Amino acid sequence: MRCFFAIYPDIRLLVQLRDLRHQLRKQLPDDEIRWIQEDALHLTLAFCAEIEDEQAERVWNILQPRLARQSPFDIRLTEIGPFPARRPLVVALGLERPPALQTLDLTIQAALEEVGLPRST
């Protein structure tokens, strides 16, 4: 299965993203861009590509108790740009990386390594 870890924006960030999307849609031609639904907006934390069901279950079992202890945090947008830079597929948003987000990233990366999966970049 394809596997990735993501978080969804809270209502405050979702409003910012909605406004930004509205501005972009006025400036960019619709025939060249496939806009996703608002409920699909997310921040990808780790992308694992194809993994076995057993690996996904093991990662989840490792992460569940650790994520329950994760501190909440705010995310602030800092920049916008195409990703990848050549032949862009998505609009990428740069974010501040508060310590709690960095901790979350390290927690996910450690769980991936524990089941023998490579660290996500």
Continuous H helices in the chain: 11-27, 53-68, 99-114
Residue 109 pLDDT exceeds 90: yes
Q: What is the pLDDT of residues 77-95, one digit of tens each?
A: 898 888 777 877 777 888 8
> Is position 119 within any domain?
no
Encoding tokens for residue 4? 């990735």
Residues of the domain holding 35: 2-114
Whole-model pTM: value is 0.77
> Is position 121 within any domain?
no
> Is position 120 within any domain?
no
Give the total number of structural domains in the chain.
1
Q: How confident is the model at residue 121 (pLDDT cuts 50, 70, 90)?
A: low
> Is position 24 within any domain?
yes
Q: Specify the CATH number for the domain of residue 23.
A: 3.90.1140.10
d(CA 100, CA 78): 17
Residue 65 pLDDT exceeds 80: yes
